[in-house]
Structure 1
């Protein structure tokens, strides 16, 4: 490429790359972030140590930085644009040399390889990699029908980027092959596409211990094709010589396609989508015009190569001379929470993610660590899944200065064909009631039409054409374009058309949408049975066909069940020729069968055996019945296993597996990943057990993981053993005691509800799917029936209120409770009655707990808030024991928390003198107020004035405005404030006592607040104050103060 080239305007990706790399030869192009990852591990270890706080983390990270722009840390590996340009020159020449029949020292050929020369089709070997075209002749003119396909089996790495540019430089097509795919699926795709060569990498960036496949051996041994092993360190240093290849855009015949990506097909077989260079360039140039990259930003390459979005992740950086950070892929994949570390430390400017990933990492987006991310992150691109209004609302509050784009598309349309700028959403929501964020309008050079349904106003199926459209599908080396049709008459064009609609073909997406008055489209659903899971398209028919191939499965049906419109999971219904007693063995066998043939995202979480599948009047499977809650309820299995009699570490691990995989039961030697586990569910298990996630990859079964935890950490050994004899003796009393407990509940706030069946799936299911958040440290988070937990089932949770120390009750929306006794309930047990305490769930707080919990009922749910000496503060679902969010404060928590008057924030103090205001739903820090001493006093809510009153060991009491986040008043109390103050709402007085023995009365009727009187009690006061009300009338009501 050293020769002078003629400047061409966006003619091909190869020219774009050459121009960008030549202008900035010495600039860092790619950073393998090994050093950053190691620093994060060390930092997490230090964060667990006593005396190391969040505000020290910035100094710790900065001390390891060796470059400010782009951010580079000790141990990182950097590659400049000139190095990548030289490597592309070298590999391009080698690939062309191999295609012409030449040899290479790093090429491994099959044993029976025979090179055939001068055949009719040109020079080739036993798998030619040539594609046959069956297309509309009017659409294919002057194209190259013998495009060679190169399989690239690598994780995101500098070698992967170099290989893609090298294949494009040769004028051929690349096929991304995800090394984590099952072997059967890899071989099937390689065979179907007839790849000419597979390129693999020995890069240390790939460190997976679970899915690592030795391609050089087993692919070649099975005579599939030749394999070329490359490495930036070993053999991509320009040794081959100068590149003398012609430019792809200057060829007389236009190449048919430049990449092949396999997706799940509605026919039941994976289909290869043949994408074009025109589509990739159009998508790149549009984004560069809308949100230009000027070279001063830093981007992140973290998406799997099986997902089309990964192409734009590295193209947008390399073609604009922008540094690109690559986390160690397997470590990042194992724990998605690490993305927050990389966003912060490397000052990432632009992030592309699926909504489910953003939702999963929200618990880690809190505290001081998110401030740097808020500064640097300029653009958040969400695609691949429906973006809910609730998630958008959380994200825009978390990143108020970040532009959020919602993109829509598929692999068939180069990834994206419409876009919506979320800045417009607040205006739209003023007049429209939406559940999801609109998918917007077409990007330039893309035609989008809405083919209307009968009697449907501006609602119909989305058709797409233009530069973004792929060439078609590849199946057994043959093109198919059955989804490319002419535009019907009853269609609405969304935006201006780039051509006459009657002269071009359109791709039928199968997606149904509605057009808003603003012109934006809103996604409504699918016409077929294709769903999106973690951003990846899944055809349910493909899973069903794979299940039917199992020797013990007669028939099968798979549905995608959504819970509360947010959480989706796969349920498989099996008709088997085996008897019921072999059900569990069958499920284990079926799971193993699927994991060998399908990617993890396509493995169902639930399996149900039924006698026959319901049939509709047309003779087809009636999926509506399978998806109905009544049918699911009928299929509940009453499985009373030993979960209540065995309380040990292994059972805890099994329960964590069940929660993450959403299955009913896990055996001692079941492999977590063979059962369908992936990186997100593995992160959940690690979070639940409080272990390093890498242990799960090395020891993936409950028995192995139990052994290593006991031997290496001895975690939970004493806390989780309960006598088996005691459990057996108490079982006989359990049922009668709970019945008497249920009948004894009384009070106006308790509403008796009729018996109702559990709304859970049968067979292998975990009801923990009801939570929108990860289940952390919960020993038993299954849904509790009325008989197991009658106090919960009979408690009226329709009214929002909170319960705290001393049975204090605060309802939402009122200034005070006129009679606190009305809001409480009691249980009367006869003096000679016997019972026992039954553990419903347990959450590990890592250290001792001094404070009382705060219980909040809101939105039909009950939450418990509690902190400990480990600095941890958590929000727990009080019904299931699942942790909704967890934060780590800068000091140990020794006081109870309160919820503010509008139920939006939780206020709690810590030993470092800080009072935290945490978002009620997410745990994000809304405000932090610093006092001059330890905070051991529970704050008190003054709803009338929107204040929180809280004392400190600096001898002051503070009035904090929780809406405007400011301190409006403080006064010295003469000593440390241990107990909570008390407010007399009738007289507008606040009383506070201190360890000096002083009692202070403050008038809070109007600002400025003032001291009304002082009283020296002569003895320290450590307890909280209480103002009691006795019945009276009007102003004659008397008030007594109780001191402790």
Structure 2
């Protein structure tokens, strides 16, 4: 039910770590009147640029506690002399932990009633409207045909009596308080959530919903964010849609929540979320992540680098990227304040992140190295020096962290602790860490080009599996609490997971030899004498672009479906070993087609089907793809300097002025338009674009 009495078997200390719902309940109850989240008002509601590059008034009003459900700061609010709360500006909307807890209880209760029986709030899609009377039976029978694909040992566990497969609820909304409430509500009622990024093309969203056999899609009416309404999901989707407003949820629950805690159920939930990543098979893969993996990652951070009440964090990561989970869970479970920038502003203007860091005195930031490289020139501006005083932790993950970038960041932010984390969606986001304060000592004896990815976090095991037992280099295998249970698809058991001994050279077949499930990452690393790992690269054709995992095979498959293309191959290459670029080689169905028209058509085709990170930077037209002796596409030859000299240069010269010059002109015009009228920034921007322009 809603809690345990003093006579219950589980003690308060045991409950503290038993599930995310309990940890949040304890955090929210103890800090009921503190600010949990601030929805930043759109820029049109702020005062103008004060000349220092920040688009807020210089004297922010502090939050004043009140008995309201939540409050919006306005010009009539009297300022507070208290310095204990985070800065709040005109138009910002604040939610206390008590507000969020109440909303979670309300929505969890509503979801439970909907999933257990028909409910008047439910909006059925057109394709399922006619079978409303036998909806429950139909969904149950269809789910049995879509089993989760596991390695044998985990599959046996899934079929045992002490676990259950949860229902999957799609969450169609951007980073917001509504999204946070939705995630916590789904976890509270014992089911699993599936983030549906509004930035995804509609075809991809519908494909993911169908593949995961989603039971219900939850969406909120846009309030502080500008996103397309969910009506199209009702029209084209294959499952029911629940559309709500935050006001309805806040007013919907007045009595105590009558639900068992997920950790108190006799059967344990097999997974608590599904997150889709780009698949090496050419199709997106739905990773089934566990609650113990998420909670273990949070507890590890709290033990080594604890978040304290009153710290301010920024929620700016797309919900399609695994790192967004720790971004908001850290704040909600650690009793910190989460600042949520306007959805579209941050997407359209990544430089604006610097404004949010300074205006709200952000203490912790999670980012990919490429983002920090982009905003680095802006951080160097004298007016932004205050960020170095407020930013306590900078956590970088998602891609290789070049040593040159660390050198600049450490000089610019000497008071900031910088962590480099490594992981993937299959291992709950992170499985190793490196504290950069140790880097100078390592550099005394090691010649490195990138920051090490470090050692395993708590309750995780990392092996390097090489060709021989004495090798210090090998593929990264990850085991422990962080490992997901598999992919939610009906395909055969994936080769990504394997059961083996920690001493992988052991040939023992006994069950009691300490064997466990490991995830084969496809990444290679070498171990330094001190035990830290250094990332070397990938073994397959799955890469990271701006922190997002991209499978080149998936891009190829989508391009091949274009009516003017008969075949395609996509390769990645790096500029100065730091920035990844994608090149697509196209074999056209008809040779008399205009090259510029085809490029534009294929680019538009991709933009409607895949995220921006998966669209190649350039498209090269060739008569045929080079083949190896085995009859496969010779990707090594495609990427060779010989092939580029013979086939690519002329094509690039012809396309430069039509594609890339136009892109540079648009971005330059956007900067001049009013967001960054600073000639130093503009000159740096031109210098940064020069190698991109010359290579495309």
| TM-score class normalised by the smaller sequence | 0.7 to 0.9
For residue 310 of structure 1, report the CA deviation from its aligned partner: 0.4
Match for residue 498 of structure 2 among 485, 488, 500:
485
- Higher Rg of the two aligned structures: 1
For residue 237 of structure 1, report the CA deviation from its aligned partner: 2.2
SS in 2 for 1:691: helix
Does the 8 Å contact 1:465/1:507 carry over to 2?
Answer: yes
1:130–1:202 Cα change, 3 Å: farther
For residue 474 of structure 1, report the CA deviation from its aligned partner: 1.1
Match for residue 97 of structure 2 among 68, 77, 81:
81
Does the 8 Å contact 2:149/2:489 carry over to 1?
Answer: no
SS in 1 for 2:247: coil
1:882 is matched with 686
For residue 456 of structure 1, report the CA deviation from its aligned partner: 7.5
1:133–1:307 Cα change, 3 Å: closer
For residue 2 of structure 1, report the CA deviation from its aligned partner: 6.0
Match for residue 114 of structure 1 among 132, 137, 153:
132
For residue 371 of structure 1, report the CA deviation from its aligned partner: 2.1
Instruction: Tell me if 1:34 matches 2:16.
Output: no
Does the 8 Å contact 2:477/2:521 carry over to 1?
Answer: yes
1:492–1:642 Cα change, 3 Å: closer
* 1:464-863 to 2 correspondences below 5 Å: 464-476=478-490, 480-487=493-500, 491=504, 502-634=514-646, 635-637=648-650, 657-659=662-664, 686-687=670-671, 690-692=672-674
Does the 8 Å contact 1:206/1:329 carry over to 2?
Answer: yes
For residue 536 of structure 1, report the CA deviation from its aligned partner: 0.5
For residue 109 of structure 1, report the CA deviation from its aligned partner: 4.4
Match for residue 457 of structure 1 among 471, 478, 492:
471
1:130–1:318 Cα change, 3 Å: farther
For residue 130 of structure 1, report the CA deviation from its aligned partner: 8.4
SS in 2 for 1:273: strand
1:758 is matched with none
Does the 8 Å contact 1:27/1:80 carry over to 2?
Answer: yes
1:503–1:182 Cα change, 3 Å: same
Q: Quick one: distance in 2 between partners of 1:131 and 1:641?
A: 49
Count residues in correspondence: 652
2:257 is matched with 243
For residue 108 of structure 1, report the CA deviation from its aligned partner: 4.4
1:242–1:617 Cα change, 3 Å: same
1:965 is matched with none
Q: Deviations over 1:709-742 (max 9, x none)?
A: xxxxxxxxxxxxxxxxxxxxxxxxxxxxxxxxxx
Does the 8 Å contact 2:398/2:422 carry over to 1?
Answer: yes
For residue 643 of structure 1, report the CA deviation from its aligned partner: 9.8
Q: Quick one: distance in 1 between partners of 2:580 and 2:135?
A: 53
1:331–1:875 Cα change, 3 Å: closer
Q: Quick one: distance in 2 between partners of 1:226 and 1:130?
A: 19
1:423–1:578 Cα change, 3 Å: same
For residue 691 of structure 1, report the CA deviation from its aligned partner: 1.5
Does the 8 Å contact 1:263/1:271 carry over to 2?
Answer: yes
Q: Deviations over 1:646-691 (max 9, x none)?
A: xxxxx9xx7653338xxxxxxxxxxxxxxxxxxxxx766622xx12
1:352–1:129 Cα change, 3 Å: farther
Instruction: Tell me if 1:13 matches 2:20.
Output: yes
For residue 585 of structure 1, report the CA deviation from its aligned partner: 2.4
Q: Quick one: distance in 2 between partners of 1:512 and 1:78?
A: 45
2:401 is matched with 387
Does the 8 Å contact 1:230/1:236 carry over to 2?
Answer: no
Q: Deviations over 1:310-352 (max 9, x none)?
A: 0001111111111111011111111111111111111111000
RMSD: 2.9
Match for residue 184 of structure 1 among 181, 199, 203:
203
SS in 1 for 2:110: helix
1:299 is matched with 313
For residue 640 of structure 1, report the CA deviation from its aligned partner: 7.9
1:631–1:146 Cα change, 3 Å: same
Q: Deviations over 1:465-513 (max 9, x none)?
A: 000000001125x7844311133798599xxxxx987421211111000
For residue 293 of structure 1, report the CA deviation from its aligned partner: 1.3
Instruction: Tell me if 1:157 matches 2:164.
Output: no
For residue 134 of structure 1, report the CA deviation from its aligned partner: 4.7
SS in 2 for 1:266: coil
1:351 is matched with 365
1:485–1:656 Cα change, 3 Å: same
SS in 2 for 1:351: strand
For residue 642 of structure 1, report the CA deviation from its aligned partner: 12
Instruction: Tell me if 1:280 matches 2:294.
Output: yes
Runs (5+) with no aligned partner, structure 2? 6-10, 63-78, 690-696
1:912 is matched with none
TM-score between the two structures when normalised by the length of structure 1: 0.59
SS in 2 for 1:180: coil
TM-score between the two structures when normalised by the length of structure 2: 0.87
SS in 2 for 1:269: coil
1:152–1:480 Cα change, 3 Å: farther
* 1:117-196 to 2 correspondences below 5 Å: 119=137, 124=139, 132-136=147-151, 138-139=153-154, 140=157, 141-196=160-215
Q: Quick one: distance in 2 between partners of 1:264 and 1:88?
A: 31
Does the 8 Å contact 2:427/2:478 carry over to 1?
Answer: yes
Does the 8 Å contact 2:100/2:181 carry over to 1?
Answer: yes
2:243 is matched with 229
Q: Quick one: distance in 2 between partners of 1:582 and 1:64?
A: 58
1:88–1:873 Cα change, 3 Å: closer
